[in-house]
Amino acid sequence: MSDTSDPILRIEGLKKYYDTSSGFVDSLLGRGQTVKAVDDVALKLHEGETLGVVGESGCGKTTLGRSILRLIEPTDGNVYYRGEELTDVSSTRLRRLKTDLQYIFQDPFASLDPRMTVGDIIGEPLDVHGIATGEERIDRIGELLETVGLSANYTRRYPHEFSGGQRQRIGIARALAVDPEIIVCDEPVSALDVSVQAQILNLLDDLQEEFGLSYIFIAHDLSVVEHISDRVAVMYLGEIAEVGPTEAVFSPPHHPYTEALLSAIPEPDPLWEGDRITLSGTVPSPIDPPSGCRFHTRCPRIIQPDEFDLTQTEWRSIVDLKLHASDAKSVKSLTTTEEGSVDIDLSAVSNDQLDRLVRAEFSLPGELSDPEAETILSAAIDRLHAGEIAAATDRLGAFVSPCERHSPEQYRSDDTHRIACLLYEQGFDSSGDSAGGTDAVVEN
């Protein structure tokens, strides 16, 4: 699909922040913190396409979907539906627009009112928007049930009488009741068995073809996203890391985060011997996201500066040590094993012994391939042996990646594919300077 065609939905600079202060006093004393759940997201959805949004749990996918339709109010940014700004319309106008914009919720068990019959659940949007009454309403509900593969005779039943897949079909029928143009599907198959997932995905495909629907399909399962999506946006810690046509994003993956996600897809072959990419550490907190590229704290391809000449594995391990040292309360917390922390008495452990412990914990060789880097590392371990964590952290501060200092722009790989990674910025050197040659973009 052409990236230059007019989109049916356009998202610009969308943000959703949450204030974690517990009250007025916290705010007054500056104790409140801000969770940046969605941070400056720009996307486009074209008519008749499915845009997949994928990422780890907690990356902001659901918050993005709900902010787009104003199920929760965004903090900043703009959302345009056919040129009309949704973020600035009145509640009355927004209610009218909701006939064109619908949402399918993740949990088919929680999203249906257990006190209402199926007929009332599907009929409620017809009542709210004044679409049908009387016999016309009854016929419409039966037609919707049959459209999603259920019997029209189910109208008097309650949600607890159905399986998970059937409940999700009821949720889909409810979304279709107002004849929408866009449906945000929030992990609609994640709570279902694999065999049922396939049925729901095929149903969504059939409905899209029959009614000309456009989907934003939110998921954490890349194999599902690959099956159903025309384009894919990969999300990490509230930001878009990569977006483009499905085949461009998946074959081969470009952004290191996308590459790691794809390597985690289970292989059905028990004899498969491919490589799994294991990311360092855990997802950082959106309260205090990392500087520069937010993925640099875990990236297996983090860029090293010109002054060092280390292997990629050595560089990743050194950055891990630096990050751990900056958070460590003691030398003991830096030397952990699968069984727990090593009980270190610095007065009884020699500098060489501590050196071996630290290197073993962070998979560092006995001597780094770069002499200058080895000198810095050895000096930092000397400070650790003296019990001086702050001084050791200062020494390790010499290891600074450009990825820590510079936030990557969204750059064009081609007319339809954008990647937010310094590795793909033409002319970028490890000093952080960009010689140009690529076009920054503000929307995807």
- Helices and strands (H and E) in the chain: how many: 15, 14
Q: What is the mean pLDDT of residues 115-135?
A: 94
Domains located in the chain, CATH noted: 9-22+32-263 (3.40.50.300), 312-400 (no CATH)
Q: What is the mean pLDDT of residues 410-429?
A: 75
Please tell me the pTM assigned to this model: 0.87
Q: Could you read off the pLDDT of 94-103 as tens digits, one per residue?
A: 999 999 999 9
Q: Hey, which bits of 46-196 come out as E strands?
A: 50-54, 76-81, 84-85, 101-104, 182-186
261/56 Cα distance (integer angstroms): 8
Pair of tokens at residue 293:
């590229």
- CA 375 to chain CA centroid, Å, is 39
Percentage of the chain modeled with pLDDT above 70: 86
Main-chain phi, psi angles of 435, to 5 degrees: -85, 5
pLDDT confidence tier of residue 343, bands split at 50, 70 and 90: low
pLDDT confidence tier of residue 441, bands split at 50, 70 and 90: very low
Instruction: Tell me how far CA of residue 328 lies from CA of 299, 321, 331, 333, in angstroms.
Output: 21, 10, 7, 6
Confidence (pLDDT) at 269 = 66
Confidence (pLDDT) at 30 = 61
Per the CB < 8 A criterion, the answer to whether 64 and 41 are in contact is yes
Pair of tokens at residue 380:
């930092």
Q: Could you read off the pLDDT of 358-381 as tens digits, one per residue?
A: 899 899 999 999 999 999 999 999
| 42 SS3 class | strand
Confidence (pLDDT) at 22 = 65
Does the pLDDT value for residue 226 go beyond 80? yes
Pair of tokens at residue 155:
């109208």
Q: What is the mean pLDDT of residues 54-77?
A: 94
pLDDT confidence tier of residue 163, bands split at 50, 70 and 90: very high
308/314 Cα distance (integer angstroms): 11
| 231 SS3 class | strand
Q: Could you read off the pLDDT of 287-320 as tens digits, one per residue?
A: 889 999 999 999 999 999 999 999 999 999 999 9
Task: Calculate the average pLDDT of the chain.
Answer: 86
Q: Could you read off the pLDDT of 266-278 as tens digits, one per residue?
A: 766 666 666 778 8
Q: Could you read off the pLDDT of 203-214 as tens digits, one per residue?
A: 999 999 999 999
